[in-house]
Every structure is written in C-alpha cells, then in structure tokens.
Amino acid sequence: MQNSSITLRLHNLQLPFSSTWKYGILALAILLLLGALTILAYQMCQLQKHNRTGKKKKYDSGDGVKMRAQNGVWGKKMPPLLLDSSQQSDMDMEMAEMGAGLDTPHPCLSCSITEDPSPLPSSQGSLKFSLLYRREQCELLVSGLEVRGLPSHRHTEVAVWFRLLQRVPSHTPGLQCVVQEWQSRAVKNCSGTTFGEHFVCSLQDAEMERSTLKMEVQHFDKYSRNATLGEVRVALSQLKASQSLVLCAELQKTTKDVVGEVLLSLRCLPISQRMEVGLLKAKTYPPCSAAEKSVYARIDVSCRRHRQKHQKSRLQAHTALIIFNETFLFPMPQAAAWDSSVLVSLYEVGPEPRHLIGQASVGRNMARDAADHWDLMAKSIQQPVAQWHPLLI
C-alpha cells in the first residue's frame, strides 16, 4: 500500500513536454542542419574556384615562357647596339670625339622585344653613361654614370650593378657567360644622382662582337636584399674604337639570362609526407682566371609561401660539368604540394667573397617546363623524375 502511494506521487510530479516544445526543438534541429549544409556548399564552391585559379596561373606562366622564347631571350640574335627590354623607343644619344665637347645623335640605335613588350613607366627614371673602347690597351671604359628621375620618396640610396656578358657556342639556346661583374658605390637618391666613378675591364677586340654590357639600377639596402629598379643593355658589336659614346636610356624591366643548366631529380614520398630533391649535375662556363674556385648549391623549399630551412651541398671544383649526386629531404604535406616550389642557387667561392652563378626554380606555378616537371613528380609516386632546368641570373 505504501509503495503504490509513492508511485502515485512520483507520477504526479512528472511534467510531460507540451506539443509546442516538441515542435520548437524539431525546428531548431532543422535550422542547424540547413546551416551546416550551407557552410559545406560554400566551402565546395571556394575549393572549385581555387582550383580554377591555379590552373589559370599555370597556363599564363606557360604562355609567358613561350612568348619569351619567340621574342628572342634564349634564341634570338643580339641587336646591333642598345638592347632594351621593350619595343622601340626614342632615346637621347650623343657621339663625342675623345676630348671634344660636341655631341651628335647616334644613328645606329635599335631596340628589341623581350618577354615584356611594355617598358617601365617614365617615372621610374633613366640611366646616363659613357662608353669608350681602347683598342691598344684592350680595355672598355665606363664613366659618366648618372641616374635621373627616380622617385626620391621610395628609394633613399641607389647603386648600379654591371655585368659583362658573352655569348657561348652551345646546344643550349642563348647561353651566355658572365666575364666580369662589379658594383658602384651606393649614392643618396636625388633629382640627378651622379656616381663620379669609372670602371675598366679587359676585353679583346675579337670578343666585342659577342659581348653585351648589362647595367642594373638597384635600390641599395644594407640590411636586406637589394631591389632591382630597372636595367639597360648595350651590345658592344658596333662600338667604335677611340670614340666615346654617351647614351641616356630609360630603365626597362629586368630580364634573366641563361648562364648554364642544372639536372634536378624530384621524388614525392606521400607516406612519410616528404619530398626528395636530387642535385645530380650542373653545366656552367668555367672561370677564366687561373685561381682554383669551388662551387656549391643551396636548396630552398617554400611551402605555402613559407620558406623552410635551406640545405647546402658539398663543395665541388668549378668545371664545365659539375657532378654533385646528392639528395636532400624536405617535409612536404600532401595538401600543400600544389603551393610549393624548389629554388636551387649555385654559388662560386674562392679567394674573393662568394657570388651567385645562377638560379633554377621548379614548381607548379612556375614556367611551363618547371610546372611539367612538378606534375610528373606528383603523378610518379615513390619514383624519382629527373629533368634539366636553365640556370638564370
């Protein structure tokens, strides 16, 4: 009797949910489900949009390489005198006899089209300089260096980097070697920056036909890397002896020169989430000096715009064909493989401080050959894929 009374009391205390509460909870669950489906559909749309953008960038980079090959960066013969990186443009040139003060326009100026047909804006400045070839001493004199029209609020100090390039007969189209390079002192930028320096380099008369002087104007920064503002190129094939040629040309977009080749091997290791970079061989033009010099390679891997810790190869003698045969392992998450790249930099060391010989880059968003190599690596799981890549500087 007592148990039945307790059960009756407990039954009276239980308050069942009304129909309004039940339908409210059901409606809330349906709303949460619809919100989850909406978020999922938005994420899928974003993923498809990102894939289409990646493919478009890949095709655009391939077209750029094709345009550059057609316009003669790698295979076309050098123009007669001034090699701009744009279409034909008007330039102020003056021919001065040695010791004379009269200047007359030079009639043999011509330009060529490179990878970018449009020059830099006129506000980017111009470069004025004087060239003189002394046949008796076999010397090329560069003087009267002056930079004009640079935006003063952006660049506090500027410097000019010179490279004397020579075409080399090879199966590689457009292969050149850096005969000599030097840099001017850094000068504070103003309306007309005058360096007040002259540079002399040894150059035989027979080498004038295949030589080109490349001058890059750089923003000097002693705490980080210098930023290149533009360049001017001059072909020395028609430079007359014992006559000073004064040129004033607008800065053009910088272009890369092929100075060698490097054989790289790539292998994707998805189980361990790593990538193997194999540095096999490199072809460069050996140095002309008698001093023994060595080379080494630095490998940098960038994953989602984050550069990992670099690795270096062993020192090798600088010859025409350099054998490395080394492999390097880098972490590579499979989800980030589409947004990664490999940069190989070849340096020469000796009695003087090291200097860069050339660089080669491989990645899905790079040029056509580099992108094809990356795609082959992604398809050939656990298998190394080797390919030659140009060294550019």
List, for residues 237-271, the tens digit of each pLDDT value. 878 877 888 999 999 999 999 999 999 999 998 88
Residues 283, 379: one domain?
A: yes
Residues 373, 264: one domain?
A: yes
Tokens of 53: 């953008």
Among the candidates 250, 276, 305, a domain finishes at: 250
Q: What is the structure's pLDDT at 238?
A: 79
Residues 239, 132: one domain?
A: yes
Range of the domain at 141: 126-250
Residue 224: inside a domain, yes or no? yes
**Count of domains for the chain:** 2
* 7-16, 102-111, 153-162, 329-338: range with lowest mean pLDDT: 102-111
Residues 160, 195 contacting (CB under 8 angstroms): yes
Among the candidates 201, 220, 250, a domain finishes at: 250
Q: In which band, very low, low, confident or very high, does the pLDDT at 53 lie, cut at 50, 70 and 90? A: low
Residues 243, 136: one domain?
A: yes
Residues 265, 232: one domain?
A: no
The distance from CA 72 to its chain's CA centroid, rounded to whole angstroms, is: 18
Residues 307, 298 contacting (CB under 8 angstroms): no
Residue 186: inside a domain, yes or no? yes
Separation of alpha carbons 292 and 297, rounded Å: 17
Residue 328: inside a domain, yes or no? yes
Residues 141, 173: one domain?
A: yes
Q: In which band, very low, low, confident or very high, does the pLDDT at 54 lie, cut at 50, 70 and 90? A: low
Residues 310, 226: one domain?
A: no
Average pLDDT in the 39-47 region?
Answer: 88
Residue that wins the pLDDT comparison between 200 and 220: 200
* Res 329 pLDDT > 90: yes
Q: What is the dihedral of CA 373, 374, 375, 380, to 10 degrees?
A: 90
* Res 345 pLDDT > 60: yes
Residues 210, 273: one domain?
A: no
Residue 204: inside a domain, yes or no? yes
Average pLDDT in the 307-335 region?
Answer: 91
Supply the DSSP string of 48-93, one letter for each residue.
HHHHHHHHHHHHHHHHHHHHHHHHTSSSSPPPSSEE-SSS----EE
Separation of alpha carbons 294 and 322, rounded Å: 10
Residues 168, 212 contacting (CB under 8 angstroms): no
Residues 373, 386 contacting (CB under 8 angstroms): no
Residues 199, 267: one domain?
A: no
Residue that wins the pLDDT comparison between 278 and 76: 278
Residue that wins the pLDDT comparison between 88 and 128: 128
Kindly give the pairing relationship between strand 258-269 and strand 227-235.
unpaired
Residues 297, 279 contacting (CB under 8 angstroms): yes
How confident is the model over 180-201, as pLDDT tens digits?
999 999 888 776 788 889 999 9
* 265-269, 288-292, 309-313, 337-341: range with lowest mean pLDDT: 288-292
Tokens of 131: 């060239």
Q: What is the structure's pLDDT at 334?
A: 73
Residue 201: inside a domain, yes or no? yes
Residue that wins the pLDDT comparison between 297 and 99: 297
Q: Tell me which amino acid residue 353 is.
A: P
Residue 157: inside a domain, yes or no? yes
DSSP 236: -
Residues 241, 340: one domain?
A: no
Q: What is the mean pLDDT of the chain?
A: 78
Q: What is the CATH number of the domain that holds 144?
A: 2.60.40.150
* Res 51 pLDDT > 60: yes
Residues 238, 159 contacting (CB under 8 angstroms): no
Q: 176: closest CA among 81, 86, 284, 263? A: 284
Among the candidates 208, 231, 250, a domain finishes at: 250
Q: In which band, very low, low, confident or very high, does the pLDDT at 85 lie, cut at 50, 70 and 90? A: very low
In the chain, the percentage of residues whose pLDDT exceeds 70 is: 73
Residue 326: inside a domain, yes or no? yes
* Res 327 pLDDT > 90: yes
State pTM to two decimals: 0.68
Residue 337: inside a domain, yes or no? yes
Q: What is the structure's pLDDT at 102?
A: 34
Q: What is the structure's pLDDT at 123?
A: 54
Q: What is the structure's pLDDT at 170?
A: 81
Residues 240, 292: one domain?
A: no
Q: 85: closest CA among 180, 193, 216, 184? A: 216
* Res 392 pLDDT > 80: yes
Residues 238, 265: one domain?
A: no
